């Protein structure tokens, strides 16, 4: 009987202890803790070509020679909602930097409502297959995740979890200065 009870309690204990997994809107995801990883220039690897269809029906292709801030998000993700204003403000403050969202595990209708609610002006890809191309590098590993790709097209930094305005701005400046 004790073994049977333990068998029933393990999933409950795992869910309560969280282990980094959260469930929102009946969709599980791994939540990051906001830790930033910066890669020195000599150790950076080439990022895949970032392109694809966007929420507004256009096609996005990352511009060569520009820093790119790529944010993986979903409308049902609380940390994504919390960080949205900072991302939008920084996209306006840094017009020389490309900002791009990558919608994951969400509906286009919900995503469009999110973009409208938070006044997001930069594009978002609707196909998250691009994330698979980062395999073997500093990959997006949580929702949200923010990657910064340097002007040479190499992955320079990652924030796993919610970004803050000041932390992301510091990373953008470091990447722009070719540190």
pLDDT of residue 99: 98
- Closest by CA position to 28, among listed 83, 101, 105: 105
Q: φ and ψ at 47, to 5 degrees?
A: -80, 155
R_g of the chain, CA atoms, integer Å: 18
Q: φ and ψ at 85, to 5 degrees?
A: -60, -40
pLDDT of residue 83: 97
- pTM, full prediction: 0.81
Q: How confident is the model at residue 22 (pLDDT cuts 50, 70, 90)?
A: very low
pLDDT of residue 29: 41
Task: For the chain, list the domains and their CATH numbers.
Answer: 21-176 (3.40.30.10)
pLDDT of residue 139: 75
Q: Give mean pLDDT, residues 79-106.
A: 97
More confident residue, 34 or 157: 157
pLDDT, one tens digit per residue, over 39-83 is 999 999 999 999 999 999 999 999 999 999 999 999 999 999 999
Phi-psi region at 144: left, alpha or beta (left = phi > 0; alpha = psi -120 to 50):
beta
Q: How confident is the model at residue 20 (pLDDT cuts 50, 70, 90)?
A: very low
């Amino acid at each position: 009987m004790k073994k049977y009870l333990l068998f029933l309690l393990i999933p409950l204990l795992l869910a309560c202890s969280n282990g980094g997994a959260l469930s929102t809107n009946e969709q599980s995801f791994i939540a990051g803790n906001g830790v930033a990883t910066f890669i020195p220039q000599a150790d950076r690897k080439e990022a895949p070509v970032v392109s694809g269809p966007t929420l507004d029906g256009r096609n996005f292709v990352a511009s060569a020679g520009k820093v790119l801030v790529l944010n993986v998000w979903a409308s049902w993700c609380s940390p994504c909602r919390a960080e949205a204003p900072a991302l939008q403000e920084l996209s306006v403050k840094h017009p020389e930097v490309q900002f791009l969202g990558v919608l994951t595990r969400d509906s286009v209708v919900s995503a469009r409502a999110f973009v409208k609610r938070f006044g997001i002006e930069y594009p978002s890809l609707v196909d998250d297959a691009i994330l698979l191309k980062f395999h073997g590098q500093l990959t997006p590993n949580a929702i949200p995740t923010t990657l910064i790709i340097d002007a040479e097209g190499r992955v320079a930094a990652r924030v796993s979890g919610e970004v803050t305005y000041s932390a992301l701005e510091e990373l953008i400046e470091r990447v722009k200065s070719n540190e």
